Amino acid sequence: MTKKERQIVFDKYNGKCAYCGCELQKGWHVDHIEPIVRNWWNGTCEKPENETLENYNPSCASCNIQKNSHSLEQFRENIKQFVNSLNLYSTQYKFAKKYGLVKETEIEVKFYFETLTQQLDTKFVG
């Protein structure tokens, strides 16, 4: 990837992570929206056709690492499951909940870029 292409990806959401919306820090990642599925053992990938500029999203390191080789919907589902895991395995979380420090909501997992699309839609309607 050229420096220019990397800059285009960075500018896509004004220097913010496409998923969580945080300000991108040095060492930010270029995510493949539709995964390329890397074969770590020989450096090849299973879907080289997904190696296009349109398929790149700017991502903070932690979102990119969590998303891994998943589609957007698999990534969304994984995030949803975190609450179940916390309830099953984290004593600290269960205590924080019991004492009212943490409250669960039933909100949908929305990615930052999806909220932007919504704002644009609202502008067109309004």
Q: How far is the CB of 110 from Zn ion (least distance, A)?
A: 13
Instruction: For the CB of residue 7, give the shortest distance to Zn ion in the complex, in Å.
Output: 19
Cα separation, 35 vs 93, in Å, equals 32
Contact flag: residue 19 with Zn ion (CB under 5 A): yes
* Shortest CB 27 distance to Zn ion, Å: 13
CA distances from 69 to 50, 72, 80 (A): 12, 10, 17
CA–CA separation, 88 and 13 (whole Å): 36
Beta bridge partners of 16: 23
Subset of residues 35 to 74 that bind Zn ion, contact rule: CB under 5 A: 60, 63
State which residue, 20 or 33, has the beta carbon closest to Zn ion: 20
Q: Of 19-27, 78-86, 87-95, 100-108, which part binds Zn ion (CB under 5 A)? A: 19-27
- In the list 17, 35, 67, 111, the residue contacting Zn ion (rule: CB under 5 A) is 17
Residue 96 as a binder of Zn ion (CB under 5 A): the answer is no
Chain positions contacting Zn ion, by CB under 5 A? 17, 19-20, 60, 63
